[in-house]
Amino acid sequence: MATVITNLPSSKAGSVGHEVPRSDARVKLSGKAQFTGDIRVPGMLYGAVLRSPLARARIRSVDLRAALALDGVVAILTGADLMDMDPYYGHALKDRPIVAIDEVRFVGEPVAVVAASSLSVAENAVNLIDVVYASESPVTSLQAALLPDSPLVHTKRARPGFAHGLGQLPDPEGNVCYRYGFSKGDVSNDFVQAAVVVEGEYRFPAVYQYALETHSVVADHRGDEVTIWASCQHPFLVRQEIADLFDLDLDRVRLIVPFLGGGFGSKSYTKMEPIAVAISRKAGRPVRVVNRVDESMVTTRRHNMVCRMRTAASATGELIAREADFWLDTGAYADNGPRVTATAGDAAPGPYRWRSVRVDGRCVYTNTAPAGSYRAFGAIHLQWIGELQVDEIARRLQVDPLEFRCRNVLPVGGEVRAGAKPLDADLVGDLRKVAAAIDWGQPRTEGRGVGLSVGLLAAGAHPVSMATVRLGADAGATVLVGTTEMGQGARTAMAQIAAEVLALPSEQVVVRGTDTQYTPYDRSTGASRSTTVAGKAVELAARDVLAALEETAAAKFEVPLDRLSARAGGVTDGERWISHQDLIRARFGFAGGELVGHGMVQPSRGSGSFAEGPVFWEVCLAAAEVAVDPVTGVVRVIRTASIADVGRAINPQLIRRQDEGATLQAIGNALFEEMRYDPEGMLLNDTLLDYRVPSALDVPERMTCVIVENGDGPGPFGAKGCGEGAFAGVTAAIATAVAAAGVPMQELPMTPERVWRRIQTLGHPDREGEAS
């Protein structure tokens, strides 16, 4: 029988805002967590990929006889197997074949895939495949790709992909595959009128996202359906792309995503899934394809870039105009390059009150590995450059960089870009907080420099997410949401959101991995969107369940609905209380049944093209203190502070971990990470011996994450996302700090040798490279 209690249970502190321990900590620390590479399916074969040794070549012939003769080899896929389909994919531009067809465009491009009874047989067979190439002169740098007579990486006009969403494709223009720009005001005139102008050319390196887990897929294609276990961040977008590519019904493509061993954008959109599905289709059996690290390093990377920027200010200390031209190297296939270009364009002006702005970004093909998403893309490319120029202007005007920024940044509601959402954050407040956290204005030791940076990142991607919450007869809840847990703590945060609404302990809420057959649609896990967009869907789904509980309680207590609220695992009218279990029992009349709630987030207006975003502007704001050794050029990051302007902190601990992780990645990107290619397009540093990633030894003495809660986000309880802003913010703050220590750098990473060389040049003012 239902028990009604009149002695109300204490309203234990809610879930949201609390440092709830990660729900996945135990399984991960005990080694029990399942990743894609752990999955074994009955009858499964092992795949190995033959990759091109050349950056640009025609394929003359492929001889498979010796490989096929090897005991244990079941099937080998080559371009010749793809003649019965349109084998090109790419969510932005449909420019990439599943495996090379007639030509190769980068070192590492898949040419053939072997499926065999074991990995060693598959690898041996790969070595027995005889391919004859006719090598052509490759285009391996931006400079070469932009020459008027440069060979074209693609000779056919690109077709838009299924998730293009970036407006009209530009007319073909050499190797430029996408262009994004805008302008306002009279830039030329403002530069003529300006009292101070700073300009320069800047370089940003190609870097690898370096998730610990490499790209991993198990695909089982049989008849007119396919099941895929994959380490992917966006299962629903991969499902759509696979369905298009293999001409299958959407509901016949099933993506199952266990835990990811890190993503950072490297597993955004489609990566190794088409290859795995194609070889499984040919073999007629499930096939597992798991990249080695060196293979993942040519599967995706961050765009290297060249940028020319100039910034103008008045004599009275107002920023008035900025121009930015930049060229992003997207490698042999566009991947997410067009979106990266657009986001970089939006970040180029920086959050200031410009009279005039002109931005022109190009996404350029070269014969190198394709470049795609990586945490804070676009903002990280441009923010450090703009902020170095802001600092240089402040220096010449003899104004404190903090005060200079506070005077010039956009106010709340200011126009960031015409047609986009107005600024939804208090940047002056954030600047003052980060300055306090780094003891701004205090005297510093010789050789030290302190820098600030502020920027904005268009976040949230396309706001389409659904969620389902099921409340069982035992009052345990299950959340079905398509967010991928890749280390960020999404499952914990989602559980907290549902727990808060239903007044349950968060341990009583289970969140599992995505299975597209059962989990409702979610666009993607990236762009700092999950807590905000998918989290909102979870909140709405939980409220849907609560509404049903309250409906039953209203009948039981004979009170209107507005008198009821959730409390301590039940519902109360302020005087009486009844548990969720008892309400479910009362509703269904026996000890069974469940309540199912649905939540849906959709764009509030328009068709979802780029001009209508973003969901929110992610604040990229940080400070850093560095020590520069003038003799060796070694830069050490002593302290950092970052702002997590999150609206409402669902889990402060997870937010701090996000900013700490981003800070470490920023230190790598700013100081030492760089993919080096030889002139023939071969990646020279594809192991951890030569490609250095940040380690525990690079952790600054102090990292402060200042959480700002203004309740101004569109997500659950006023939340908005975080986790990417610190990457762009800290990278730029390290650059401005090194400049403050006396060494303005125009190229990342700021390796010891580059800093040392710059110091040599600065010692001889006549040799100084930077224009003024």
Partner 1 sequence: MKLPQFELHRPTSVDAAARLLADLGDDGSAFSGGTELLLAMKLGLIKSRHLVDLKGLPELHGIELRPGGVWIGAGVTHAEIEASPAVRAILAPLAVMASQIANMRVRAVGTIGGNLCFADPNSDPATFLSAVGARLRTWVRGESREVAPEEFTVGPYQTVLEPGDLLLGVWVPTPPPSANVVHLRMKIHERPSVTVAAMVEASHGEVVAARLAVGSVGPKVLQVDLGEELRGLGGSAYSSRVGALVALLAGSIPLLPERPESPEYQRHLVRVLSTRALEVGLAAATSSAGRPAQNGGGEA
Q: Pairing mode, if any, of strands 73-78 and 110-116?
A: antiparallel
Residue 695 CB contacts under 8 Å (≥ 6 apart), including other chains: none
Nearer to partner 1, 290 or 571 (CB): 290
Cis peptide leading into 110, omega within 30 of 0? Answer: no
> Is residue 403 flagged as an active site residue?
no
Q: Does 203 bind partner 1 (CB under 8 A)?
A: no
Instruction: Please report how close the Cβ of residue 122 comes to partner 1 at its closest, in angstroms.
Output: 10
User: Would you state the structure tokens that stand for residue 476, as one six-digit string?
Assistant: 């345990």
b vs e for 587-612, b when ≥16 Cβ sit within 10 Å of the residue's Cβ? beeeeeeebebebebeeeeeebebeb
Instruction: Please report how close the Cβ of residue 290 comes to partner 1 at its closest, in angstroms.
Output: 10
Q: Looking at residues 98 to 127 of the shown chain, list those that interact with partner 1 (rule: CB under 8 A).
A: 119-120, 123
Nearer to partner 1, 426 or 674 (CB): 674
Site string for partner 1, 618-647 (x = CB under 8 A): -------------xx-x-------------
Q: Looking at residues 454 to 473 of the shown chain, list those that interact with partner 1 (rule: CB under 8 A).
A: none
Nearer to partner 1, 13 or 689 (CB): 689
Nearer to partner 1, 314 or 685 (CB): 685
Instruction: Please report how close the Cβ of residue 314 comes to partner 1 at its closest, in angstroms.
Output: 42
Instruction: Please report how close the Cβ of residue 678 comes to partner 1 at its closest, in angstroms.
Output: 9
Q: How many CB atoms lie within 10 A of CB 52?
A: 24
Neighbour order of strands in the sheet with 130-135: 103-104, 57-63, 130-135
Nearer to partner 1, 247 or 690 (CB): 690
Q: Does 751 bind partner 1 (CB under 8 A)?
A: yes
Residue 605 CB contacts under 8 Å (≥ 6 apart), including other chains: 612
Distance CA 181, CA 201 (A): 18
Q: How many CA atoms lie within 13 A of 619 on its CB side?
A: 29
Nearer to partner 1, 188 or 632 (CB): 632
| Of the residues 130, 690, 701, 768, which one makes contact with partner 1 according to CB under 8 A | 690
Instruction: Please report how close the Cβ of residue 295 comes to partner 1 at its closest, in angstroms.
Output: 10
Instruction: Please report how close the Cβ of residue 684 comes to partner 1 at its closest, in angstroms.
Output: 8
Q: Which span (149-157, 428-436, 556-564, 745-753) binds partner 1, by CB under 8 A?
A: 745-753
Beta-strand (E) ranges in 291-370?
304-313, 319-331, 356-365
Q: How many CB atoms lie within 10 A of CB 406?
A: 16
| Of the residues 168, 689, 765, 766, which one makes contact with partner 1 according to CB under 8 A | 689
If you search the block for the tokens 């980068």, which residue do you land on? 106
| Of the residues 415, 692, 707, 747, which one makes contact with partner 1 according to CB under 8 A | 692
- Candidate list 295, 724, 753, 768, residue with the active-site label: 724
Instruction: Please report how close the Cβ of residue 204 comes to partner 1 at its closest, in angstroms.
Output: 18
Taking alpha carbons only, the member of 646, 654, 372, 643 closest to residue 485 is 654
Q: Does 676 bind partner 1 (CB under 8 A)?
A: yes
Distance CA 387, CA 396 (A): 14
Residues in the chain: 772
Indicate the DSSP class of residue 486: S
Q: Does 685 bind partner 1 (CB under 8 A)?
A: yes
Nearer to partner 1, 123 or 594 (CB): 123
User: Would you state the structure tokens that stand for residue 551, as one six-digit string?
Assistant: 């409906």
Instruction: Please report how close the Cβ of residue 58 comes to partner 1 at its closest, in angstroms.
Output: 28
Q: Does 266 bind partner 1 (CB under 8 A)?
A: no
Q: Does 292 bind partner 1 (CB under 8 A)?
A: yes
Q: Does 698 bind partner 1 (CB under 8 A)?
A: no
Nearer to partner 1, 364 or 675 (CB): 675
3-state secondary structure 249-299: CHHHEEEEECECCCCCCCCCCCCCHHHHHHHHHHHCCCEEEECCHHHHCCC
Site string for partner 1, 173-202 (x = CB under 8 A): ------------------------------
Q: Does 222 bind partner 1 (CB under 8 A)?
A: no
| Of the residues 167, 414, 472, 752, which one makes contact with partner 1 according to CB under 8 A | 752
Distance CA 219, CA 691 (A): 31
Alpha carbon distance, N-terminus to C-terminus of the chain: 82
User: Would you state the structure tokens that stand for residue 173, as one six-digit string?
Assistant: 């223009």
- Asked if 126 and 46 count as a contact pair (C-beta separation under 8 A), the reply is no
Nearer to partner 1, 418 or 688 (CB): 688
Backbone angles phi, psi at 668, to 5 degrees: -65, -50
Instruction: Please report how close the Cβ of residue 756 comes to partner 1 at its closest, in angstroms.
Output: 6
Q: Which span (446-454, 508-516, 680-688, 713-721) binds partner 1, by CB under 8 A?
A: 680-688
Catalytic residue numbers read 724
**Residues that bind partner 1 in the complex, under the rule CB under 8 A:** 119-120, 123, 292, 631-632, 634, 672, 676, 684-685, 688-692, 751-753, 756-757
